[in-house]
Amino acid sequence: MAEPAARRCCLGWDFSTQQVKVVAVDAELNVIYEDSVHFDRDLLEFGTQGGVHVHENGLTVTSPVLMWVKALDIILEKMKTSGFDFSQVLALSGAGQQHGSVYWKTGASQVLTSLSPNLPLHEQLQACFSISDCPVWMDSSTTAQCRQLEAAVGGAQALSCLTGSRAYERFTGNQIAKIYQQNPEAYSHTERISLVSSFAASLFLGSYSPIDYSDGSGMNLLQIQGKVWSQACLGACAPHLEEKLGSPVPSCSVVGAVSSYYVQRYGFPPGCKVVAFTGDNPASLAGMRLEEGDIAVSLGTSDTLFLWLQEPTPALEGHIFCNPVDTQHYMALLCFKNGSLMREKIRDESASRSWSEFSKALQSTEMGNGGNLGFYFDVMEITPEIVGRHRFSAENREVSAFPWDVEIRALIEGQFMAKRIHAEGLGYRVMPKTKILATGGASHNRDILQVLADVFGAPVYVIDTANSACVGSAYRAFHGLAAETDVPFSEVVKLAPNPRLAATPTPGASQVYEALLPQYAKLEQRILSQTRGPLQ
């Protein structure tokens, strides 16, 4: 049988909370291989649940760094056993869960640069970490450090203007501050601090990989305008921190070639390039091929917005990161906690637990819902911090109930008007070329997507984002190969499969919602001032 034609490809990795995943993407941008290793299922000796350990205090959440190392050993062996041809890999890049941090012990770099190809990574790196259980994004034990950092730079808004976010417990600077304060000896024996993304890149490089601008924006340490560490933030967190972090680099940087360990043990070509790894959300933005003016809406348990911003206006909500595929622009994340669980509750209460009844209500009620507006937050909302259900008639009078069909439309219109208002609060603007990319469970309901298209006045496309961080990383690897030629990312990925058009705005939608959006915003402020007292 003829030898299979050589399939030049790039690899995209994702070191996520629950697993390590890899995809191989060929030059036509087709996924030709994928594999994964699940921490809970395949690495039982580490005893994680959902890939993490939640500590007794309920606030501290960590993951064992050697579990991540061993997962890479296993997945590479699985690829080798399946006959994957590593010699075809032109470049690789990857993603890591954002905010997590890895602490390399003094002397580890010598081990990393002299790995024996006869042994797995985890056996050789056993003694290379000063902290064996790494803080991850689910940790919320650093509130004190958050307050200290905000005080050091002039307050929450000042920190947001500087680093793109106010202080958040999961953000890496606050986690480093806690380790320095509570475990100074481990901190003093740490020669390098990586994010999960740059840690994974270091494993492939065989030396310390720099932190990229985009994932570095999730640390409360990087000046997002100047793309340099903020000396005020570094100083407020821990001493000698800049030398432990190294200098940040543009996310599209080629940071080196794979180490000889991979050439000799797996057959990677010696010139296989490593493109800077980044955070899972920035990598997903790349995988969704978001462009200027686009917005991605992930409709899941909580709803998450991915925004492409040219001129960000940092706020006390949401997160602004350096853009992973365009160094002049930015991206933003906005999280809305009352997502699908809220939609399912109203479906159960008002549509007899039936999505088809739910859809009928949306089909039978008018855009704008006759001026009735609703706010549905059965759990404390993140954006903004409101809890409870609040309904208002067209005359702005608070009412205790709506008819079942009005209730359903009020929920969905309210959820999407909130998204547009808060996105625009961060500097997002709907443009004539705007595409809305919808993903997640609720994106299978066409009537819900119709409301989304109407509220934003833009077409809605649906995409499958199951592998978006991996695929986005493979796309970024191809982009890194073209780095010297200055080809824009959008050009590199133009052959990728296009999303499917699902809904376009109903004629007259803009007039309806341009009038209703300010009304919704005013009522939101009214609820906020009632619940937390008048704004200072």
Ligand X SMILES: O=C(CO)[C@@H](O)[C@H](O)CF
Which residues are near ligand X by CB under 6 A? 17, 97-99, 137, 170, 218, 279-281, 319, 333
Query: Is 471:25 a contact under the CB 8 Å cutoff?
Result: yes
Q: How far is the CB of 228 from ligand X (least distance, A)?
A: 21
Instruction: Tell me which residue of 193, 202, 200 sits closest to 221, measured CA to CA.
Output: 193
Q: How far is the CB of 154 from ligand X (least distance, A)?
A: 23
Q: Give the separation between CA 282 and CA 473, rounded to whole angstroms.
A: 9
Q: Which is nearer to ligand X, 97 or 323 (CB)?
A: 97
Q: Which is nearer to ligand X, 332 or 463 (CB)?
A: 332
Q: Which is nearer to ligand X, 11 or 285 (CB)?
A: 285
**Given the structure tokens 């056996």, which residue do they identify?**
123
C-alpha distances in Å from residue 411, one per residue of 84, 285, 300: 49, 27, 15
Q: How far is the CB of 181 from ligand X (least distance, A)?
A: 22
Q: Which is nearer to ligand X, 136 or 474 (CB)?
A: 136
Q: How far is the CB of 360 from ligand X (least distance, A)?
A: 35
End-to-end CA distance of the chain: 76
Q: Which is nearer to ligand X, 102 or 455 (CB)?
A: 102
Q: Which is nearer to ligand X, 51 or 480 (CB)?
A: 51
C-alpha distances in Å from residue 54, one per residue of 49, 50, 134, 139, 379: 8, 10, 12, 8, 21
Q: Which is nearer to ligand X, 18 or 148 (CB)?
A: 18
Q: Give the separation between CA 452 and CA 430, rounded to whole angstroms.
A: 13
Q: Which is nearer to ligand X, 16 or 88 (CB)?
A: 16
Instruction: Tell me which residue of 338, 326, 319, 339 sits closest to 423, measured CA to CA.
Output: 319
Residue 375 backbone phi and psi in degrees, to 5? -125, 120
Q: Which is nearer to ligand X, 64 or 279 (CB)?
A: 279
Q: Give the separation between CA 286 and CA 483, rounded to whole angstroms.
A: 15
Q: Which is nearer to ligand X, 278 or 445 (CB)?
A: 278
Q: Which is nearer to ligand X, 300 or 459 (CB)?
A: 300
Secondary structure class of 168 (helix, strand, coil): coil
Q: How far is the CB of 124 from ligand X (least distance, A)?
A: 27
Q: How many CA atoms lie within 13 A of 356 on its CB side?
A: 0
Cβ neighbors of 360 (< 8 A, separation 6 or more) are 351, 405
386: which DSSP letter? -
Q: Which is nearer to ligand X, 137 or 204 (CB)?
A: 137
239: which DSSP letter? T
Q: What's the Rg (C-alpha) of the chain?
A: 24
Three-state SS string over 356-374 comes to HHHHHHHHHCCCCHHHCEE
Q: Give the separation between CA 23 and CA 30, rounded to whole angstroms.
A: 10
Q: How far is the CB of 341 from ligand X (least distance, A)?
A: 18
Q: How far is the CB of 362 from ligand X (least distance, A)?
A: 29
Q: How far is the CB of 57 from ligand X (least distance, A)?
A: 20
Cβ neighbors of 437 (< 8 A, separation 6 or more) are 288, 290, 294, 295, 296, 297, 460, 461, 462, 463, 499
Q: How far is the CB of 285 from ligand X (least distance, A)?
A: 12
Q: How far is the CB of 182 from ligand X (least distance, A)?
A: 22
Query: Is 336:299 a contact under the CB 8 Å cutoff?
Result: no
Q: Give the separation between CA 90 and CA 70, rounded to whole angstroms.
A: 24
The alpha carbon dihedral of 348, 351, 352, 354 has a sign of: negative
Q: Give the separation between CA 374 and CA 368, rounded to whole angstroms.
A: 11
Q: How far is the CB of 152 from ligand X (least distance, A)?
A: 22
Secondary structure class of 450 (helix, strand, coil): helix
Q: Which is nearer to ligand X, 218 or 368 (CB)?
A: 218
The Cβ of residue 379 has, within 10 Å, a number of other Cβ atoms equal to 11
Q: Give the separation between CA 304 and CA 383, rounded to whole angstroms.
A: 11
Q: How far is the CB of 484 from ligand X (least distance, A)?
A: 30
Q: Which two tokens mark 42? A: 């395949």
Q: How far is the CB of 168 from ligand X (least distance, A)?
A: 8
